[in-house]
Structure 1
Amino acid sequence: MTDTLIAAPAAEPGDSSWTRREIAQQPATLRATQKLLSDARGEIDAFLAPLLARPELRVVLTGAGTSAFIGECLAPWLSRALGRSVEAIATTDIVGAPDLHLRAAAPTLLVSFGRSGSSPESVAAVELVDRRVAEAHHLIVTCNAEGELARRGGPRAHVIVLPEATHDRSFAMTSSFTAMTLAALSALGGIAAMDARIEAIAAGVQDMLARAEPVAATLAARGFDRVVYLGSGVFSGLAREAALKLMELSDGGVVTAFDSALGFRHGPKTIITDRTLAVVFVANDPLTRRYDLDIIAELRADARAGEVAVISAGADEGATIALAGMADSPDADLLFPYIVPAQLFALHVSLALGLTPDQPNASGTVNRVVQGVRIHADEA
């Protein structure tokens, strides 16, 4: 089965944006990413296996913005898979308060994610870890062969440069997010194991592209002024990424929030009004799923939200988008199709607001590669 990297679902009149193309190309970029890792399996495993065999090794997943949320999605899953603590700490936190986040005596594997690989905090975080940690190792996952991170070689570093198509041209990260997430899940969780799952993941994303497009368009036309994404387990980080995507593509025109199914009742639920869209990512994990279904039932019984949209891979009655073929898939694999409706909804909202999706921030105060960051001298 093949995919055309720039094939898109039915577009709004005049919408030929890179944002749309990059959302649509994800089945192909995911397959291409896994092939790249599979072809390089020997050298990747040679670098990682001796490190992960050491129980004292500290594993930190890092990035800024969307790249940081990759770590938030994967850290709990990889902690269980690897039988060790895996931490997600944003580069912005490492750079802003290194004394709180770095331990000089702990051998550390820093896994850095970067679409451009040139964000000031991404480079500074790597340099801080090298300077402050006695034994630092680096796994770098980037979409840009010309970025600063891609040039960080050495005996204690391994760089994975993803296919060029994943280096999104648009402002918002879409295919770069899913490709880097897959690369880390595969490299750290087992490339051979992912070889057996990649086709189901890519097919699920393709299925979701078709199912989500009309729903996203219909919901965007309703003009919600608040949207909250709810997800538990691995979907806690995904809810945060979904909220950011809408905030970015609406240029802050829609108030967004995120929480877990259980956490939402503890105050954040006050965001609900009759102009609020609540979106729930339903887990396949049986226990987590029960809590997801509870909050859905509660929100619908309250009858205060403008709409409660449910994204599920199971046979839930009332699911707004029911993903086919992945009812038995691990939750980590659902990260890839589940983000698609949020990406498409953000795109449609951007168009409905009369914005340019590839550069929604017309004022130029927010940029594709962050600007205006001053890295202060580390005096430790």
Structure 2
Amino acid sequence: MKYLNIAESALIDLKAIDTAREIQGQPELWEAIYNNICSERESISSFLDNVYPIAKKIILTGAGTSAYIGFSLEGIIQRTTKITTVPVATTHLVSHPQDYFEPDTPTLLISFARSGNSPESVAAVELADKHCNDCYHLIITCNTDGDLAKHSFKKNGYVFYLPPEANDKSLAMTGSYSGMLLSALLINDIKNITSLHSTVDKVCEYGTSLLTEFLPTIKKTAELPFDRAVFLGSGPQYGTAMESHLKLQELSDGQIICKNDSYLGFRHGPKAVVNNKTLLVYYFSNNEDVYRYEKDLVAAMDEGKTPLFQMGIAEKMRADLDLDALIVLSKDGNHIEEPYLSVCNIILGQLLGFFKSMDLGLNPDSPSLSGAISRVVKGVTIY
């Protein structure tokens, strides 16, 4: 058996088996998530039908990787619900709850958590109930036994559990991240869940292409001699850039310093980080109005220091780009709604992190040599 084209026995010896298996298993996981949501369609719809007429604000929250999910969702959820929607990490909510929860503003708190055992996860839910007179909770988690999953709600609450295989064993969140992101996208459009099967199939197709057809290109890129990396994304792809930056940085144990930004934001100073040892990764929008800004930024990279390598990923061919490598996902010219690209595109960031970890002689399942980072954050005291 092979995972990411590496023999299982070798991955076990390299302490990389969990990460490799979890990255490769994502397309199958996404299909299982779709089926689970279909089976819970009536109960999910009933919960949302009760909450949406009341809620005036939606907060998308989580810690670390789980917090980045909200940045890919805020736009589509706000457009669908017509309710003000903001992503706020639990790490902000816990220290400054009064800045985000208003007593007289009915709020839906959507919490994302792999384990649900991070100290901030339950604290954020409790603080929401304390500071907001009318607060409702949607929990999307990978662990049925987590503290968050077992929490008792003061008001109406709903917990959606991902399939067991989404509860990653490795340090780096991979299937759990993409799985919770897809879950939220599907729940957001629960009324049309049946017609979304074709979209999920296309997301799975794109993910499989990254794991097979484009795997050699990504591996070769990861083995280049860069010591810093920048990931750029617009709109929902901004969340993908954020998570990619964390994946590569944590899987390389901080040996690769990473940054993320939007295309327009990158011009306002952060572009100074680029030098001849920089890997620059572009997540391109399939919205033509957005792409105009992205294309202009790529052209502007000719001014100033030249990166070591520029790689892009786009749903369709972009002949007007001059990059060292361009991954094109669609074979038939069709396209999916942009936020769904965030689900499959993150595999690029995950693979770059995995193969760079291997290239540096680290163990992807537990890359932190000092133990500075762990699967579940420890040492946080909730006051």
Is 2:180 the partner of 1:174? no
Report the equivalent of 2:368.
Answer: 361
Is 2:163 the partner of 1:163? yes
Q: Contact 2:142/2:163 (CA < 8 Å) preserved in 1?
A: yes
Q: TM-score when scaled to structure 1?
A: 0.93
Report the equivalent of 1:3.
Answer: none
Q: Pick one of 349, 364, 377 that aligns with 1:370.
A: 377
Q: Contact 2:140/2:180 (CA < 8 Å) preserved in 1?
A: yes
Identity within the alignment, %:
36
Structure 2 CA distance for aligned equivalents of residues 215 and 24 of structure 1: 16
Q: Contact 1:217/1:345 (CA < 8 Å) preserved in 2?
A: yes
Q: Contact 1:7/1:24 (CA < 8 Å) preserved in 2?
A: no
Measure how far apart 1:195 and its partner are: 3.2
**Residue deviations 1:93-126 (CA, integer Å, cap 9, x gap):** 0001111111111111110000001110001000
- Is the alpha carbon distance of 1:262 and 1:65 closer, same or farther for their aligned partners in structure 2, counting shifts above 3 Å? same
Q: Contact 1:207/1:324 (CA < 8 Å) preserved in 2?
A: no
Report the equivalent of 1:350.
Answer: 357
Measure how far apart 1:7 and its partner are: 6.4
**Residue deviations 1:254-284 (CA, integer Å, cap 9, x gap):** 0100111111111000011111011000000
Structure 1 CA distance for aligned equivalents of residues 31 and 47 of structure 2: 23
Q: Contact 1:211/1:321 (CA < 8 Å) preserved in 2?
A: no
Report the equivalent of 1:194.
Answer: 196
Task: Map 1:11-160 onto structure 2 (within 5 A).
Answer: 11=6, 14-16=10-12, 17-54=17-54, 56-154=55-153, 156-160=156-160
**Residue deviations 1:214-240 (CA, integer Å, cap 9, x gap):** 122111221200100000111111101
Measure how far apart 1:15 and its partner are: 2.4
Q: Pick one of 315, 336, 339 that aligns with 2:343.
A: 336
Task: Map 1:198-237 onto structure 2 (within 5 A).
Answer: 198-237=200-239
Measure how far apart 1:153 and its partner are: 4.3
| Mean Cα deviation higher: 257-266 or 328-337 | 328-337
Measure how far apart 1:9 and its partner are: 2.6
Is 2:320 the partner of 1:324? no
Is 2:297 the partner of 1:295? yes
SS at match of 2:144: coil
Q: Structure 2 unaligned runs (5+)? A: none
Q: Contact 2:244/2:349 (CA < 8 Å) preserved in 1?
A: yes
Q: Contact 1:277/1:305 (CA < 8 Å) preserved in 2?
A: yes
SS at match of 1:367: coil
Measure how far apart 1:327 and its partner are: 4.4
**Residue deviations 1:280-316 (CA, integer Å, cap 9, x gap):** 0000011111111111222256561111111111111
Q: Contact 2:23/2:175 (CA < 8 Å) preserved in 1?
A: yes
Structure 2 CA distance for aligned equivalents of residues 217 and 120 of structure 1: 36
| Mean Cα deviation higher: 273-282 or 309-318 | 309-318
Measure how far apart 1:135 and its partner are: 0.9
SS at match of 2:23: helix
Is 2:9 the partner of 1:10? no
Structure 1 CA distance for aligned equivalents of residues 278 and 259 of structure 2: 11
AA of the residue aligned to 2:349: A
Q: Contact 2:229/2:259 (CA < 8 Å) preserved in 1?
A: yes
Measure how far apart 1:212 and its partner are: 3.1
Structure 2 CA distance for aligned equivalents of residues 252 and 126 of structure 1: 31
The root-mean-square deviation of aligned C-alpha atoms, in Å, is 1.7
AA of the residue aligned to 1:11: I
Structure 2 CA distance for aligned equivalents of residues 340 and 90 of structure 1: 23
SS at match of 1:207: helix
Structure 1 CA distance for aligned equivalents of residues 125 and 82 of structure 2: 25
| Mean Cα deviation higher: 177-186 or 7-16 | 7-16
Report the equivalent of 1:241.
Answer: 243
Aligned length: 370
Structure 1 CA distance for aligned equivalents of residues 345 and 305 of structure 2: 25
Q: Structure 1 unaligned runs (5+)? A: 1-5
Structure 2 CA distance for aligned equivalents of residues 42 and 240 of structure 1: 34
Measure how far apart 1:8 and its partner are: 2.4
SS at match of 1:284: coil
Structure 2 CA distance for aligned equivalents of residues 271 and 355 of structure 1: 25
Structure 2 CA distance for aligned equivalents of residues 140 and 308 of structure 1: 38
| Mean Cα deviation higher: 357-366 or 343-352 | 357-366
Report the equivalent of 2:253.
Answer: 251
